[in-house]
Structure 1
Amino acid sequence: VILIKFCDRLHNMRTLDSLPEHRRLRMALETRDIYAPLAHRFGLGKMKVDLENLAFKYIDPKMYDYLLKKVRLSRNERIAYLNKMIVPIQSDLEKQGFSVEVQGRAKHLFSIYNKMRFKNKQFDDIHDLYGIRVIVETEKISDCFAVYGYITQKYPPIPQHFKDYISIPKHNGYQSLHSAIIGPKGHVVELQIRTRRMHEFAELGVAAHWRYKEKITKDDAAVDSFLKWARELIKDADTASASAFMEGFKLNLYHDEIYVFTPKGDMKSLPAGATPIDFAYAIHTEIGNGCIGAKVNGKIVRLNAELRSGDRVEVITSKNQMPKPDWLKIVVTHRAKLKIRAAINEERRKEIEKGRNIFDKMLTGTKRLFTENDAIRAIRKQGIKTPADLFSALANQQISSEEVMESITRPHGKSAGPKENAPAQVKPPKKGFAAIAREEQARTTSHKDEVTIAGMNNIAYSYAKCCNPVPGDDIIGFVTTEGTVKIHRKNCVNVTNENSVKSERIVSVAWNRKLNTEFLAGIRIVGEDKVGMTNQITGVISKFDTNIRTITLHAKDGIFVCNLMIFVKNTSKLAALMDKLKKVQGVFTVERLSA
């Protein structure tokens, strides 16, 4: 049915002149925004190009005519240029034993227009209008890579333009090697290499499925992928309004793709710009709803982190997590947006139901002496506009039933303000860790024997506030302009930065063996935001007989971050403490702070 609809739309666009102008424009916009990208999604490359060019002709006729003339004027020159490459490439590859068809190809008008628009270029500034496609008459994928190797021996490739869609096909099943090479006279030439079957699927998409039906192997998987995507889209349609559905539908059609992996190695295709939340919802709705964080390639990342192709993503969940309205600004997939809205609406419905029950009990206590109108007046006194707002506020304890009752019984009085039941948040001190370190450790210690400085006696030194070295750390000294020495950890960024530190000002230093002094060290703990987490952490520290200088807490989107400054005697004690903290249930990472 979809294929027939595409053919019908293509016929309509070819006969569009018979319609009034306003209908032509409406149909052209619909074709550009829906039909052309949908054709691309189903792998119908030729159909997509035809639909885009026809839509462009009616949306911006002046620009269309301008580009058409420009392309026609340069056509003979372009053909002559490409033939200078096609003939020797064909000959060289046949000498190597490959059976190939080498085609010249040109950017189509709508593609040129988009490049001019998005890169703010004039037609004459676009230098990659040339393209060559090599179709290898074989089913051996390795031949495509071998052909690429032979071609790039003669024509230098541009490495950043290489894309391997054979090993990792696009979501619509498209397979090909893409690159760009430097041709004669320094022109950039786009290069595509694919087998004959890959070419058929690139041009005809799902329609090519039936051409090879008698010997289908992987092609069934490609068609199944298209149909699965369509079913998912339609299934999600019941949870959204028509406008929201179409908005998300168009959004998902346009995005480029990235390929990321689960911890087990399963590949997921997502739109470019996708976040860990998008990935979580791609796995399962419950995993998305409970997502509180993610590890990307083994490192904790924020929920708004942008994923990249090849990332290995592990979703961290909590049964106490609920989707937040802010997530809608983060996610890019249609599915994630629909599921988040559905979860938020369901939570809102439960809140309203809970608040309604509280309100009904309140009225029962007054023997129903007050009407709905009395309640509405009370709502207005609280600055709440609708009954739903009131019920939600009651459920969340933003106001109490006593305050509502007081407003009802004192129609001319001043209503009480909302009850402040929100838990107090621990705010970080105005002074950062560097300032705390400076207070505790920026002391001149020439009269102590904590550190030995090579070749220097009785020189004043202090510990750098940027890295807080502790006995056991590999350390190095840096002679300041005041003639004192700053002691840094060897891996401190301020030491490894060659632009900021000159080698002649670096001196060798070492810890003295017998030290009984406590040093300030910083630790950052990241974990699940749940009740009792702080008590568990401080409990572990107290068992180590370690004093805490300061502790700052921050929680957002279900992730708990605790920064500690503690006193320790050496790195062994510090490492042992960090190992214990890593074993606390709900802790994801424990790292040493540099500053």
Structure 2
Amino acid sequence: MQHFTQAEIRQIEDRYQDFLKVIKNKFDEGRLARIEKAFRFSNAAHHGIKRKSGEPFIIHPISVAKIVAVDLGLGATSIVVALLHDVVEDTDYRLSDIENMFGDRVARIVDGLTKLSGDFDSRHALTLKKMLMTLSDDVRVILIKIADRLHNMRTLDSMPAHKKIKIAGETLFLYVPLAHRLGLHAIKSELEELSFKHKHPDEYNQITYLLHNQEEQRNYLVNEFITPIIQKLKEESLDCTVTHRLKTSYSIWQKMQKKSVSFNEVYDLLAIRIVVNSKPNISEKRQCFDVLSIVTDIYKPKPDRIRDWITTPKANGYESLHVTVMGPQGKWVEVQIRTDRMDDVAEHGFAAHYRYKDIRNFENELDPWIEQIRELLQSTDADAFEFLDEFKLNLFSSEINVFTPKGDMYSLPTGASVLDFAYEIHTDLGNKCIGAKINLKLVPLSHVLQNGDQVEILTSENQSPKLEWLKFTASAKARGKIKNAFKQEKSKHTEKGKKIIEETFTNIKAPLTSNSLKKLTAHFNLNNKEQLYSELGMGFINLDNLKEIIGKKSENKLVKYWNITFGGGGKKKEEEGKTQSETNATKKIDKKKTFLLKENQDNITFSLAKCCNPIPGEQVVGYLSTDEHVVIHKTGCPELGRFIANQGEKIIRAEWTKFKRQSYLTRLNLEGFDRLGIVNEVTTLISKVHSINMRSVKFDTHDGIFQGDLFLYIHNTDDLTNLITQLKTIKGIDNVSRIENLNE
């Protein structure tokens, strides 16, 4: 073990004393003594250990403790745990030592955190279950883990680039929704911003630059907007604080991606917040509506953009009035109105509940959510991916409230159907559901519920769950119950799937080899052939395009395209005499090296993910579906998050070499004003000027506006960028965007 220098020892002590200054007025001498004891013990245990950044490791627990105390507002026990949370994992001390020195309660929370071993361990889908099992005992396990992740994200600069992408992806996929569900808005926003900065540095820097550029203009608009509001509030003797909040660069980027718009087309960059310093004898709701009345007297509201989260708060405790109004210079501006208590809850979630009500009451409010998680944990399904997907449904969806005939209220995700509601009440009710009555009108079980609907579920003894029900269910509970109805007979499905594969291969007159099965497994991003059989048997996947998947050779002019996309191309002649094990040895991929994507890949196959369809030149990473096959994803692909969260160790660096001969199917969408000859100009530019092959071109015209849908074969991103730039210069074309999904 190496010893710290005097400068490092001073650095540790200074950091700890700064932390004490922040908390010393919050606690009595007894609690401060416990915190002091925890720090001295942790400091001794971690002596000589450094982080990847080179600073002493103990700086990390001190920083996490500060987040726990300041941002989460938790008590002395949580601070003690934060200081000790890495001791069992990283030093020679055991949990029994923690229990002897600090008691059973501290040891239990430390144990819950230790089960998520490693600062940057990416196998969270499996260990998440363990963490959630401790949640119902003590919600502090998750809160301290979120604080731990926040500090790790703040110090991510010392990690290599591919690790940054992996950790940022995992944070967005799991920790951001957790922070959201616990109402930790400030922490959620910071985690999003830091993840965006490290996962998409170029886009982050561009948006930050554009926001900085418009700062002066924005401040002028804010002052012009709020001046009449402040004046009117004073006249009415309403004690309020008016501030403005800028949309985060991550949320701006998300909107740009989702709606395919430019930065200048994102209209709600600003939100004005009016915080009412509430009077104790008047209802908070009434005080907020008084302010709303003043705002809408000055500025005209957008009718479909008024949200009342005070009458019906969000599931994470968020309360506020939101209204979008037409402000000066013809700009839409969102106004948020809330009391000082509501604002505290909105920013700090659980910590604010801790201050404003008995903590046990808030934990009771979390009980329905915890109960849903417990049901998911008890599911017979062991697929960690699926567990994560269903769990996220409970975390991040907007919610609606619906009622039973007796008036009991249930919260469901937006987009929930009659079937979701039936399963929410009882499993048997869901299994036997045939439809419902809403306002005395019969509706099918696929009917999407609206906020405030009163629903009477109709059942039949002859009804049983159907696989197609998954298409119109939005809640994790309903989806889990439907899948369980099929998974109870898993062995039967596996046999059925095996038979389907054998028959399909016989029908297309192709040999059923282990290599073909590997290609199928890789194509569907599955772990092994048993999972392939099972998914086939249950009908979750089909083999309609089997010939393409296994890359059967033909004289098709696109043979090179199919070979590279689906991993065909065969082995070299000199390899034909080798044994299977020798061939595998040459094909095994080195995870530590950058995987180079070559135009003529010989014995190591790769395929391009269908979810994002990357093309040469784009930033990509690889996912090792097997030791000899890599699936290539764009770094920003949402689907990649699922793999990062469960199998982060299988994510490898990948880089394109120069592609000149091979071309890739790419989809462009054109919008503009119709005029004579515009279609001819577009096709001439593509085929004659750029010599790009077109698979299909479709133009629709309506009331002088046209939309074009183009499927083209592109060599690389440079060619694509040049083409898009020149298409935009054609008179009448308003917008050109790339559509990643080729199947929409």
TM-score (norm 2): 0.46
Equivalent position amino acid for 2:366 in 1: F
Identify the match of residue 152 of structure 1 among 290, 293, 296. Answer: 296
**Contact 2:376–2:391 under 8 Å retained in 1:** no
Equivalent position amino acid for 2:178 in 1: L
Q: Which residue of 2 aligns with 1:74?
A: 214
Matched ranges for 1:250-269 at <5 A: 250-269=392-411
Equivalent position amino acid for 2:342 in 1: M
Determine helix, strand or coil for the equivalent of 1:326.
helix
Equivalent position amino acid for 1:185 in 2: Q
Determine helix, strand or coil for the equivalent of 1:65.
helix
Q: Which residue of 1 aligns with 2:267?
A: 127
Q: CA deviation at 1:165?
A: 0.7
**Contact 1:258–1:270 under 8 Å retained in 2:** yes
Q: CA deviation at 1:259?
A: 1.6
**Contact 2:403–2:453 under 8 Å retained in 1:** yes
Q: CA deviation at 1:171?
A: 1.3
Identify the match of residue 292 of structure 1 among 424, 427, 434. Answer: 434
Q: Aligned equivalents of 1:322 and 1:347: distance in 2? A: 15
Q: CA deviation at 1:256?
A: 1.8
- The change in CA–CA distance for 1:285 and 1:65 in structure 2 (over 3 A counts) is same
**1:271-310 alpha-carbon deviations (Å, 9 max, x no partner):** 1111111111111112111212111222111121111111
Equivalent position amino acid for 2:419 in 1: I
**1:452-504 alpha-carbon deviations (Å, 9 max, x no partner):** xxxxxxxxxxxxxxxxxxxxxxxxxxxxxxxxxxxxxxxxxxxxxxxxxxxxx
Identify the match of residue 4 of structure 1 among 141, 144, 151. Answer: 144
Q: Aligned equivalents of 1:222 and 1:173: distance in 2? A: 9
**1:288-337 alpha-carbon deviations (Å, 9 max, x no partner):** 11212111222111121111111111111223322111112221211111
- The change in CA–CA distance for 1:287 and 1:90 in structure 2 (over 3 A counts) is same
Q: Which residue of 2 aligns with 1:341?
A: 483
Identify the match of residue 87 of structure 1 among 217, 227, 239. Answer: 227
Identify the match of residue 24 of structure 1 among 164, 177, 185. Answer: 164
- The change in CA–CA distance for 1:223 and 1:161 in structure 2 (over 3 A counts) is farther
Determine helix, strand or coil for the equivalent of 2:241.
strand
Structure 1 outlier segments of 4+, above 4 Å: 219-223, 347-352
Q: Aligned equivalents of 1:94 and 1:260: distance in 2? A: 40
Equivalent position amino acid for 2:296 in 1: T
Where does structure 2 lack aligned partners over 5 or more consecutive residues? 1-140, 507-511, 513-744
Q: Which residue of 2 aligns with 1:540?
A: none
Identify the match of residue 108 of structure 1 among 239, 248, 265. Answer: 248
Determine helix, strand or coil for the equivalent of 2:415.
coil
- The change in CA–CA distance for 1:351 and 1:72 in structure 2 (over 3 A counts) is closer
Q: Aligned equivalents of 2:363 and 2:291: distance in 1? A: 28
Q: Which residue of 2 aligns with 1:192?
A: 336
Determine helix, strand or coil for the equivalent of 1:158.
strand
Q: Aligned equivalents of 1:203 and 1:220: distance in 2? A: 20
Deviates more, 1:100-109 or 1:125-134: 125-134
Matched ranges for 1:108-507 at <5 A: 108-138=248-278, 140-213=284-357, 216=358, 223-239=363-379, 240=381, 241-346=383-488
Q: CA deviation at 1:223?
A: 4.2
Structure 2 residue 200 is matched with structure 1 residue 56 = no
Q: Aligned equivalents of 1:86 and 1:163: distance in 2? A: 20
**Contact 1:281–1:287 under 8 Å retained in 2:** yes
Q: Aligned equivalents of 1:299 and 1:194: distance in 2? A: 38
- The change in CA–CA distance for 1:141 and 1:222 in structure 2 (over 3 A counts) is farther
Equivalent position amino acid for 2:483 in 1: R
Q: Which residue of 1 aligns with 2:697?
A: none
Q: Which residue of 1 aligns with 2:123?
A: none
Q: Aligned equivalents of 1:252 and 1:228: distance in 2? A: 11
Q: Aligned equivalents of 1:153 and 1:164: distance in 2? A: 18
Q: CA deviation at 1:235?
A: 3.1
- The change in CA–CA distance for 1:113 and 1:339 in structure 2 (over 3 A counts) is same
Where does structure 1 lack aligned partners over 5 or more consecutive residues? 353-375, 386-595
- The change in CA–CA distance for 1:221 and 1:78 in structure 2 (over 3 A counts) is farther
Determine helix, strand or coil for the equivalent of 1:190.
strand
Q: Aligned equivalents of 2:215 and 2:409: distance in 1? A: 43
Q: CA deviation at 1:95?
A: 1.8
Deviates more, 1:230-239 or 1:295-304: 230-239
Q: Aligned equivalents of 1:157 and 1:44: distance in 2? A: 29
Identify the match of residue 38 of structure 1 among 151, 158, 178. Answer: 178
**Contact 1:173–1:222 under 8 Å retained in 2:** no
Deviates more, 1:53-62 or 1:139-148: 139-148
RMSD, matched Cα: 2.7
Equivalenced residue count is: 357
Structure whose alpha-carbon radius of gyration is higher: 1
Q: Aligned equivalents of 2:387 and 2:361: distance in 1? A: 27
**Contact 2:272–2:333 under 8 Å retained in 1:** yes
Determine helix, strand or coil for the equivalent of 1:9.
helix
Identity percentage over the alignment? 44
Q: CA deviation at 1:222?
A: 5.1
**Contact 1:259–1:309 under 8 Å retained in 2:** yes
Q: Aligned equivalents of 1:226 and 1:54: distance in 2? A: 28
Q: Aligned equivalents of 2:430 and 2:154: distance in 1? A: 44
Q: Which residue of 2 aligns with 1:538?
A: none
- The change in CA–CA distance for 1:227 and 1:56 in structure 2 (over 3 A counts) is farther
Deviates more, 1:174-183 or 1:288-297: 288-297
Q: Aligned equivalents of 1:141 and 1:308: distance in 2? A: 24
**Contact 1:172–1:222 under 8 Å retained in 2:** no
Equivalent position amino acid for 1:2 in 2: I
**Contact 2:168–2:195 under 8 Å retained in 1:** yes
Determine helix, strand or coil for the equivalent of 2:364.
helix
**Contact 2:246–2:271 under 8 Å retained in 1:** yes
Determine helix, strand or coil for the equivalent of 1:172.
coil
Q: CA deviation at 1:349?
A: 7.8
Q: Aligned equivalents of 1:296 and 1:348: distance in 2? A: 37
Determine helix, strand or coil for the equivalent of 2:324.
strand
Q: Which residue of 2 aligns with 1:98?
A: 238
Determine helix, strand or coil for the equivalent of 1:175.
coil
Determine helix, strand or coil for the equivalent of 2:304.
helix
Determine helix, strand or coil for the equivalent of 1:335.
helix
**Contact 1:206–1:223 under 8 Å retained in 2:** no
**Contact 2:229–2:298 under 8 Å retained in 1:** no
**Contact 2:376–2:477 under 8 Å retained in 1:** yes
Equivalent position amino acid for 1:293 in 2: G
